[in-house]
Structure 1
Amino acid sequence: MSVLSHPVSRRQFHALSAGALALPGLALAQGAASYPNQPVKVIVPFAAGGGTDAIARLIGLKLAAALKQPFVIDNRAGASGMIGTTAVAKAPPDGYTINVGLSTSLLINQFLYTKMPYDPQKDLSMLYRLAAGTQILAVKATMPVKNGTELLAYIKANKGKLSYGSYGAGSTPHLFGAYLDHIADGGMSHVPYKGEAPMVQDFLGGQLDIGWVSATVAKGHIEAGKLKAIGINSANRMKALPNVPTLKAAGLTDPVFSLEGWLAMAVPGKTPKDIQDKLAAEVRKAMQDPEVQRKIEDMGFSPVLDSSPEKFTAEYKEQMPKWAELVKISGAKLD
């Protein structure tokens, strides 16, 4: 016979209610304790072979070893990372679908696109900022400048005559280049390319004057003197190119020139906090491995050793208005 067929005292009612309310929390705790008990899908919203993919595979191997389940990389490239990121945003929030993406796909796109299939602030939870994507402001080898102060003066003196390249409209090199042009009132031409490699080829040929490049692609050319490095977008020097100063030290003191893109992990928005914390703790352990740090640094990134869902979310919110303003200044809008 159902308990509802008998009178229930107020004390009994409250006791039953408290027990019922405790059950979901208990279930979540048990879920986190046994997580993961099946393979975890790691969606990378870019093509295989790039830095994002390489770091996702590096961390995935560490997580698989620690948590005794495969972490399977799934590359879903397209639409500036939105195809793969959408798949994560719409996935069940159970910890079995993870995103490894860039500041472009996780943060900047919301200011670039007039329509998006997901809201990164509601449909995703930021899990761990893996690495800072430090970029190098470079100029063609024949340009008669040695630092940021001289570069600004040169842009002003050659108004309307210079060009800057990017990996496409709305990419971070486009946003930084547009801002440099804005503060110099230089009237520079923006030349978008389908990737960094073709941009660097035009740089080497002298057809392009200015651009932001990665250490992965440009390090050898800079060391050989075929490109001239002015400085890096970071508060600290890059281990891959220790002789290149920060842009602030090179004379570009505007805070924008210390703003770094990043590579990070995110999960569907309502993923239980217990599972997020467990994942983030294991990622943090992986990042303490000197070999992991060395491999990330060799790719031109700066590893982040002590991130967490709380720290990363706070950084994300602090950076949002800065990237929004850069997009506004660039005039970039995508559909």
Structure 2
Amino acid sequence: MSRDFQPSRRTLLAGLAALPLSHGAFAADPAPWPSRPIKLLIPAAGGSGPDILARVLTDRLSAALKQPVLVDNRPGANGVLAVSAAIKSPGDGYTVLFASSSFTVVNQAVQPRLPFDVLTDLVPVVQIASGGVHLVVHPDLPVHNIKDLVALVKARPGEYDYATWGIGSTGHLIMELIKHHAGIDLRHVPYKTVSQIYQDMQGGRMQIAFVDATSSLGQIKAGKLRAIAVSGSQRMPEPAQLPTLAEQGIPFDADAWYGVFVPKGTPAPVVEALHREVNRALTAPELRERFLQLNLANLPIKTSAEFARTVAADLKIWQGIARRFDIRVE
């Protein structure tokens, strides 16, 4: 060093203060996740199937993570509001999405202008459960199966409508498939929530509907609705005698599912921790019993990568149905 430049102690300290802190030597370690409450976004109203299932899970997760997991219901736009909110959230593990296949892959299949891409904007963490949706009728309708429904609608064309929880919903696409194979015509009436469907069914203003298999179970047991079929690859726990669509001649056996997602960019250790705790909760006998009471017996224990493959494969299935029947939501 030249003798012409003799830095003072003050100059040295000022220079050191201006240097960025390195992760190893100077930066403080980030707080371990989770260090504050977690928000769980649900694309459905309180009392709906997704809401009921999510609240069963959050009770156990809150205890396991030692932080409150707070439910944030965001119904509307067939789930787009909640999913968009999740995607726009920081990828820090403090905003988590609890969503069904209807609100994710089915939405993407029918909405070409969707403001997100399920495959690139969300990270699949863990699949919660899989099953089907119920096709139900008003108990006064002389219909007990698909054959009865087809005969009734053909005998009285133009008289009956059917309800689902939204344009482009799982129920909407499945019913269009049924209509095609059975050669019947039913007008679609979309609702914002399943609760509104139940109100109109009980009031006699609607006679046929697709609804989730969880929230509808109490209505069926009380005799307020009659289930005539369930979608999916296998029968649901209740009504145990209820045959699937495939068993009744409709070539459809894709399962509906619920799962946990986080925004892209969420650190891998956070994804792994969340996956571990959710799967640990799903293996607890008391939680499995509670899910069985909610009409969900299939609780697959999958890795995050396996769930991601399920999401991608199901997106192709629903895209095929949407294209076949030209179902689009603009």
Pick the TM interval, shorter chain. Answer: 0.7 to 0.9
Q: Is the 8 A contact 1:76 1:84 kept in 2?
A: yes
Q: Please report how far the alpha carbon of residue 125 of structure 1 lies from its aligned counterpart in structure 2 after TM superposition.
A: 0.6
Where does structure 1 lack aligned partners over 5 or more consecutive residues? 2-22
2:315 alignment counterpart: 320
Secondary structure of 1:46's partner? coil
Q: Percent identity over the alignment?
A: 33
| Shift in CA distance, 307/161, structure 1 to aligned 2, threshold 3 Å | same
Q: Hey, what's the Cα distance between the residues in 1 that align with 2:220 and 2:66?
A: 43
- Return 89-98 or 293-302, whichever deviates more: 293-302
Q: Hey, what's the Cα distance between the residues in 1 that align with 2:237 and 2:139?
A: 22
Q: Hey, what's the Cα distance between the residues in 1 that align with 2:111 and 2:117?
A: 11
Where does structure 2 lack aligned partners over 5 or more consecutive residues? 2-22
Question: How is 1:221-236 mapped onto 2 (pairs within 5 angstroms)?
Answer: 221-223=219-221, 227-236=225-234
| Shift in CA distance, 228/283, structure 1 to aligned 2, threshold 3 Å | same
Secondary structure of 1:262's partner? strand
* Cα shift readout 1:264-283 (whole Å, capped 9, x = no counterpart): 11011122323212211110
- Correspondence 1:252 to 2:249: yes
1:169 alignment counterpart: 167
Secondary structure of 1:230's partner? strand
Secondary structure of 2:259's partner? strand
* Cα shift readout 1:278-323 (whole Å, capped 9, x = no counterpart): 2111100001122222333333344524022111111111111211
1:7 alignment counterpart: none
Aligned residue identity for 2:122: L
Q: Hey, what's the Cα distance between the residues in 1 that align with 2:218 and 2:118?
A: 37
1:300 alignment counterpart: 295
Aligned residue identity for 2:256: G
* Cα shift readout 1:113-149 (whole Å, capped 9, x = no counterpart): 3423322211111111112252122234455554334
Q: Is the 8 A contact 2:110 2:322 kept in 1?
A: yes
Aligned residue identity for 1:37: S
2:195 alignment counterpart: 197
Q: Hey, what's the Cα distance between the residues in 1 that align with 2:188 and 2:218?
A: 25
Question: How is 1:1-335 mapped onto 2 (pairs within 5 angstroms)?
Answer: 34-152=32-150, 155-156=153-154, 159-204=157-202, 207-223=205-221, 227-249=225-247, 251-254=248-251, 256=252, 258-302=253-297, 304-335=299-330
Q: Please report how far the alpha carbon of residue 216 of structure 1 lies from its aligned counterpart in structure 2 after TM superposition.
A: 4.1
Q: Please report how far the alpha carbon of residue 220 of structure 1 lies from its aligned counterpart in structure 2 after TM superposition.
A: 4.6
* Cα shift readout 1:166-218 (whole Å, capped 9, x = no counterpart): 22212222111111112222122222234323434444555544322334444
Matched residues, number:
306
Q: TM-score normalised to the size of structure 2?
A: 0.80
Q: Please report how far the alpha carbon of residue 263 of structure 1 lies from its aligned counterpart in structure 2 after TM superposition.
A: 1.7
Aligned residue identity for 1:76: R
Q: Hey, what's the Cα distance between the residues in 1 that align with 2:307 and 2:145?
A: 33
Q: Hey, what's the Cα distance between the residues in 2 that align with 1:48 and 1:197?
A: 9
Q: Is the 8 A contact 2:98 2:260 kept in 1?
A: yes
| Shift in CA distance, 318/291, structure 1 to aligned 2, threshold 3 Å | same
Q: Hey, what's the Cα distance between the residues in 1 that align with 2:201 and 2:68?
A: 42
* Cα shift readout 1:41-76 (whole Å, capped 9, x = no counterpart): 222233333332333233223222222223233333
Secondary structure of 2:236's partner? coil
Compare the two structures and name the one with the higher helix fraction: 1
Q: Is the 8 A contact 1:214 1:300 kept in 2?
A: no
Q: Hey, what's the Cα distance between the residues in 2 that align with 1:200 and 1:185?
A: 27
Q: Is the 8 A contact 1:132 1:263 kept in 2?
A: yes
Aligned residue identity for 1:259: A
| Shift in CA distance, 153/121, structure 1 to aligned 2, threshold 3 Å | same
Secondary structure of 2:176's partner? helix
Q: Hey, what's the Cα distance between the residues in 1 that align with 2:215 and 2:48?
A: 11
1:18 alignment counterpart: none
| Shift in CA distance, 224/87, structure 1 to aligned 2, threshold 3 Å | closer
Give 1 or 2 for the bigger CA radius of gyration: 2
1:5 alignment counterpart: none
2:19 alignment counterpart: none
Aligned residue identity for 1:65: A
